[in-house]
Amino acid sequence: MTKIALISGVTGQDGSYLAELLLGKGYEVHAVIRRSSSFNTERIEHLYVDPHEPGVKFFLHYGDLADASNLRRLVERVKPDEVYNLGAQSHVKVSFEEPEYTVDVDALGTLRFLEAIRDYRERTGHEVRFYQASSSEMFGAAPPPQNETTPFHPRSPYACAKLYSHWQTINYRESYGMFACSGILFNHESERRGETFVTRKITRAATRIQMGLQDKLYLGNLSAKRDWGFAGDYVEAMWRMLQADQPDDFVIATGEAYSVQEFVDRTFAMLELDPRRHVEIDPRYYRPAEVDALLGDASKARTKLGWSPTVTFDGLIRRMVEHDLMLARREKLLLGAGHGAGSTQGQDT
Ligand code: NAP
Ligand code: GDD
């Protein structure tokens, strides 16, 4: 029997890797996309097939985590075996600017999905496995290393919203016996990472600097430490959680932490650039409250799911730099041919 998956957040970094993974495993994949005035499907264009073609396995549906009736309708129509809730306003700094919206989508959005699944399951008897995209940001001020037993101390509206969803996921498992898992994922990056997250902001800027397309990179707190892994590895962990015999919660991390400064230094060194000539601090990128140090202990996932990361810190930076160098070269060629190309520094956070 072909398994059916429903993904929210498919147009994001993780959603695109997860859709690829599931399609590769023979799943029929349905995914929620938001209506947008400009295209937001760049990361999944390579997966899209005209639904009029025979044998299509990837279907896009308009929807929004703020719209409960829409989520209910989708669950009823798609009849999923597995739901992956990756949709979110996922930028921590933006959550300080838009706390109410962030809570609506990142906290209540999860509740809406869980309620839709609960009712569908009760009415039809169809078991639906649920994955919640929880975050290491929930640990906040709790000292490293962090694992599943570390007490949470959230430090942003985003983290508070994610913590609500984490506990609701557990609550639905305990109250209704739902197969609901919370994946507490530490930072994970790739060449598909949004350009306002610090790693991609750095690799985009450094490669553009090397091509003479910009001169300065403005950053905030360089001393924050993060446990950075590769997104492709992390979606494998999500899938493994839903294949397990029992629903559970797992920390997913590499077990190594580096500062933002170290990420800068290694990126610039790879390009033989001196960061001291190009990197400046702009306090506008500071946050009202900072998460100083995240370092995950993923022993439980290693033991129970057989999961471990495959990409090293340097390997991650290298693949991002290579990709962004290709983009910068293309941008320079287009500029040379008289076509303007947007700057990445315009509206970053
Ligand atoms: P991302 O690239 O920012 O993608 C977020 C996705 O959510 C996009 O597809 C976005 O759609 C969608 N979305 C936003 N608001 C929505 C709404 N109201 N209704 C439906 N969909 C909505 O994030 P990511 O890095 O792939 O992360 C995936 C999930 O894991 C998120 O929940 C994030 O909070 C969580 N997480 C990420 C990390 C990490 O390091 N990447 C770590 C821990 C947890 P548009 O494309 O239309 O904006
Ligand atoms: N974005 C950004 N921009 N961050 C900067 C900058 C800058 O110019 N300068 C320094 N930083 C610091 C931030 O203050 C933070 O300490 C660190 O770089 C990482 O910031 P982000 O890349 O924005 O990621 P994040 O850790 O806040 O959040 C990401 O990881 C979480 C998991 O821990 C997001 O992907 C969240 O959705 C995710 O849950």
Residue 349 has pLDDT above 90, yes or no: no
Q: Which residue from 17, 226, 280 has its CB within 8 A of the most atoms of ligand 2, so it is best to mutate?
A: 226
CA distance 314 to 256: 12
Task: Compute the distance from residue 198 Cα to the ligand 2 centre, in Å.
Answer: 6
CA distance 26 to 243: 15
**Residue whose CA lies nearest to ligand 2 atom number 36:** 90
Ligand 1 and 64: CB distance under 6 A: yes
**Residue whose CA lies nearest to ligand 2 atom number 30:** 187
Q: What is the mean pLDDT of residues 269-277?
A: 98
Helix ranges restricted to H, 177-217: 198-210
Asked whether 23 and 47 are in contact (CB, 8 A), the reply is: yes
Instruction: List pLDDT tens digits, range 73-93.
Output: 999 999 999 999 999 999 999
Q: Is the previous residue joined to 145 through a cis bond, with omega within 30 degrees of 0?
A: yes
Q: Which member of 17, 27, 84, 158 is catalytic?
A: 158
CA distance 18 to 4: 13
List all residues 6 or more positions away from 52 whose beta carbon is below 8 Å from its beta carbon. none
- What separation in angstroms does the CA of 299 have from each of 145, 166, 179, 302, 313? 12, 20, 22, 5, 19
Ligand 1 and 14: CB distance under 6 A: yes
Using the atom order of ligand 2, give the atom closest to the CA of residue 198: 22
131 is catalytic: no
CA distance 159 to 196: 18
Instruction: State phi, psi for 76 to the nearest 5 degrees.
Output: -60, -45
156 is catalytic: no
CB atoms within 10 A of CB 285: 17
Instruction: List pLDDT tens digits, range 307-346.
Output: 999 999 999 999 999 999 999 999 999 998 887 755 544 4
pTM of the model: 0.97
> What counts of helices (H) and strands (E) characterise the chain?
12, 13
Q: What is the mean pLDDT of residues 125-153?
A: 98
Asked whether 267 and 202 are in contact (CB, 8 A), the reply is: yes
Using the atom order of ligand 1, give the atom closest to the CA of residue 192: 2
List all residues 6 or more positions away from 180 whose beta carbon is below 8 Å from its beta carbon. 114, 129, 130, 132, 169, 170, 172, 173, 247
Q: Which residue type sits at 60?
A: L
Task: Compute the distance from residue 197 Cα to the ligand 2 centre, in Å.
Answer: 6
Beta-bridge partners for 129: 82
82 is catalytic: no
Overall CATH class of domain 4-190+230-252: alpha beta
Q: Which member of 16, 90, 95, 135 is catalytic?
A: 135
Residue with tokens 């008289």: 338
Q: Domain segments of the chain: what residues?
A: 4-190+230-252
